[in-house]
Copies of this chain bind each other. A is one copy, B any other.
């Protein structure tokens, strides 16, 4: 019973992330899906259902608020296309719901696609601006994302003796990785000096500690694991995929464990995904990971919440080079959100596509040698939601 091991990825497509002023949301969806279908060598008429992750279509002329925005550009009629939205975990949620549907036996071949158009939005139309204007109970008081994650860094530093050099190690690593990724928004290295001298956004987070605002889309084609060899001999298997909703920053009264140095949502999602995948020692069993580095401090905390490092040890982990390409557990070899950007609905799908590439050995300059088991992780909303997917070679 259950989902673990039953679903395979047989194709993926990721468009160039960046300031895609030349593309509408549906243009990006079309390109990502077309790439994924070509990769899987399947025709769109073979698809039986699809899931679409898009978080804030209201920001961009309403494009993306339902599955029609996938069906229309691709003429996928009349198959069902379900839109899901889950803050920054929207992408993995799309893959998770698609996987449940395949595991149910109702569909044999489905699509999961994530996309978000974020650059073509005026400042006063941004999510934060709109929320503030409408008197959002938290955002209107200035607790925006950089502000909230700055609190995390401050407390983490105080509790564990880390300092900005740990953030710098994440930023320089992910910019180095991004320099190897032709799909990344930013494809250039930065120096430690550039990082440390950059303008502060929310003390102690500077410009290079924050992921950029980016357009992007990504798609994967899923089938039952037992059917996958019919499509290709280069596929990966979803061993576990989980989503957790917890209290986060905005409802701390519900969460006695909340201490500003760890996210329960990630711990809970990882626990479930690892149980599905039969993983007991993630630090040893996971070979490569994409985790949610919306800010550099988040990546460090993720190491701990995902069980890669002990609580309080994540900062040494990155400063020691463990998570750099060539290290024992390379993390965000794509460049992460830091270099790829974070078009919300697409990020989780992009991460899963990147891990898929690692497992089938076509990650190019980003390739991790002998990558057999990989992980993708999103953290979202007010730190309240997280999704974790564990993929492996067949």
Contact = CB atoms under 8 A, between A and B. Distances in A.
A360 interface: no
A81 interface: yes
A61 B136 contact: yes
B77 A254 contact: yes
Interface in A48-78: 55-56, 58, 61-62, 65-68, 71-72, 75-78
A258 to B, nearest CB: 11
Contacts of A68: 87, 245, 248, 381-382, 384-385
Contact of A84 (B79, B84, B131): B84
Contact of A83 (B84, B130, B254): B84
Contacts of A67: 86, 245, 385
Contact of A268 (B55, B78, B244, B264): B78
Contact of A264 (B3, B78, B97): B78
B78 A246 contact: yes
A338 to B, nearest CB: 24
Interface string A84-109: 11110000010011001101111000
B81 A245 contact: yes
Interface string A115-144: 000000000000000110011100000000
Interface of A: 1-3, 6, 55-56, 58, 61-62, 65-68, 71-72, 75-87, 93, 96-97, 100-101, 103-106, 130-131, 134-136, 242-248, 251, 254-255, 264-265, 268-269, 380-382, 384-385
Contacts of A6: 104
Nearest to A50: B245
B106 A245 contact: no
Contact of A105 (B1, B55, B83, B254): B1
Given A67-B245, A78-B264, A84-B84, 5 more contacts: A61-B135, A62-B131, A66-B85, A77-B245, A77-B255
Given A135-B61, A245-B71, A82 B66 contact: no
Contact of A265 (B1, B62, B78): B78
A271 B134 CA distance: 44
Contacts of A75: 254
12 contacts: A2-B105, A3-B104, A61-B136, A66-B85, A66-B87, A66-B380, A68-B248, A78-B268, A84-B84, A100-B101, A100-B106, A104-B104
Nearest to A127: B62
A67 to B, nearest CB: 5
Nearest to A241: B106
A106 B61 contact: no
Can you list the 9 inter-chain pairs with the closest CB atoms, starting with the nearest? A1-B105, A103-B104, A78-B268, A80-B243, A104-B104, A58-B58, A78-B244, A71-B245, A100-B101
A96 to B, nearest CB: 8
Contacts of A2: 104-106
A103 B105 CA distance: 8
Given A68-B248, A268-B78, A62 B243 contact: no
- Which has the most chain B C-beta neighbours within 10 Å: A55, A77, A382? A77
A87 B71 CA distance: 14
